[in-house]
Amino acid sequence: MAPSPQCSALKAAIEKKGVSYGQLAGQLGTSEQHVVDIVTGTTPATQAEFQGLARALDINNAPPHDAAHVPK
């Protein structure tokens, strides 16, 4: 079982889109483990990674302005 995203909106978008962390990694050009680390909050995302995830998951809303959503 894949680890759950830290952000409930991200979790919902992944479920709605029906993609795996491996598929997201392929779209972002990074490793599956790196995507897992980003979505679980282990590793902060860069601005480019935030934008890539948003595109891949059809997220059009701006992320909240809290510690979990601040790119590095």
Task: Please say whether the beta carbons of 54 and 48 come within 8 A.
Answer: no
Can you give the pLDDT at residue 22? 95
Can you give the pLDDT at residue 66? 58
Residue closest to 17 by CA, chosen among 43, 47, 62, 56: 56
Burial (Cβ within 10 Å: 0-12, 13-18, ≥19) of residue 53: buried
Task: Please say whether the beta carbons of 58 and 17 come within 8 A.
Answer: yes
Strand (E) positions, the chain? Answer: none
Domain limits, the chain: 8-60
pTM summary value: 0.76
Instruction: For residue 37, give the amino acid letter.
Output: D
Domain 8-60 has CATH 1.10.260.40: yes
Segments of the chain with pLDDT less than 70: 1-2, 62-72
